[in-house]
Amino acid sequence: MTTAIQTLGASLRKDFPIFSRKVHGKRVVYLDNAATTQKPLSVIEALSRYYSTMNANVHRGIHTLAEEATGAYEGARKAVARFLGARPEEVVFTKNATEAINFVALGWARHRLKRGDAIVLTEMEHHANLVPWILLAREIGLELRYIPIDAEGKLRLETLAKLIDHKVRLVALVHASNVLGTINPVEAVIEEAKKVGAKVLVDAAQSLPHLRVNVRALDCDFLAFSAHKMLGPTGVGVLYGKMDALEETVPVLGGGEMIERVTYDSVTFNQIPWRFEAGTPNIADVIAFLPALAYLESLDSKTSIQHEQNLSQAAIEALERMGFRVLGPKAPNERVGVVSWTSEFAHPHDTATILDQFGVAVRAGHHCAQPLMHKLGLAATTRASFYIYNDMDDVEMLIEALKEVRSYFG
């Protein structure tokens, strides 16, 4: 392990104000990054700077404050586009990844799919990429198919040719599982989908914080993610869409800003992407997403993911030595920094409560993936999720606290 990887977490924590506080007298060991990440000072300052120096609505005013706010807002769109390898007009701001997926369901699929058409998902989907399709299938009469997973929590790719036939109009799949940590081979799925002319939506909420994704190389039609899982503020999501896919998409929300001309009985839509952003957007948080992206781009992405995988592997090995059952792939390079486990002697909620007494923040529950939990024969798991500012000291603190859990319940 290189020195850069070993020291990454500790060297970055100084940039995050929250790590100066204590919980129950202990330093914060934050291992709930799959739910949301902490924010560097540059993001917090950007929020304050907007409200302190340029607070105005965007796109509508010709005064100085409005022009500055508009420039910063559209500058963030350009930054997102660069980060993805996309064009700015292919970037639509939403309030989160869930809303972005719903935009595809209600704005594209509802108007393009008909009774008897099929949508292919996976057995590991988050509710955000499951519930919209269940509702739409019920409304239109669509068939939902699921790519199965194997015992390690990896997609069974040998089933693709049978599942993705000419009835399939859309394949919507998660890039990285928020429960199993599995990094899915989305390239292989996209290739199979293209053979039958199906569109592909990638839920990148858990992958993009860790992996650099170029949408041109990936060749997906839609991609959704949230800013708050990658150092940015809450309340900002992104829907990337190929221009031809966005041109086939109908605006889901109507109102100000998304129009070109309105009469008492007609409306002409604004250009893409603004036709999809009705009303006053989340200006401050979109602007503050720019320094979050800059922070991530300042790091070597290969070093960062190797760092997180090293932490995950160390945690997995220690958990298994202690008798916990760890879910997901065994190979470190097949997963992001998400580690879920269960045991016969401690309920996940009890585990999380005790860990909190040691300043260790983890997540317990079904993780918005109840069908996956049912398939695994579980009601809940405990989940630790690692990020760039974590280090081996955090892993050691997690394990020491878990020894108390085992001692108390065992």
The residue assigned the tokens 């650099």 is 212
Residue 157 · residue 188 · CB < 8 Å: yes
Assess whether 368 carries a catalytic annotation.
yes
Residue 226 · residue 236 · CB < 8 Å: yes
List helix spans (H) across 126-262. Answer: 131-140, 160-163, 186-195, 215-218, 243-247
23, 131, 211, 368: the active-site residue:
368
**SS3 state at 260:** strand
C-alpha span between 277 and 258 (Å, rounded): 6
Torsion of CA 336, 376, 371, 361, to 10 degrees: -50
With a CB cutoff of 8 Å and minimum separation 6, the contacts of 265 are none
Upper half-sphere CA count for residue 65 (Cβ side, 13 Å): 10
C-alpha span between 1 and 12 (Å, rounded): 18
C-alpha span between 91 and 193 (Å, rounded): 23
Q: Which two tokens stand for residue 357?
A: 């007494």
DSSP conformation class of 92: E
The residue assigned the tokens 């995988």 is 309
C-alpha span between 157 and 192 (Å, rounded): 10
* 209: nearest Cα among 197, 195, 225: 225
State the catalytic residues: 368
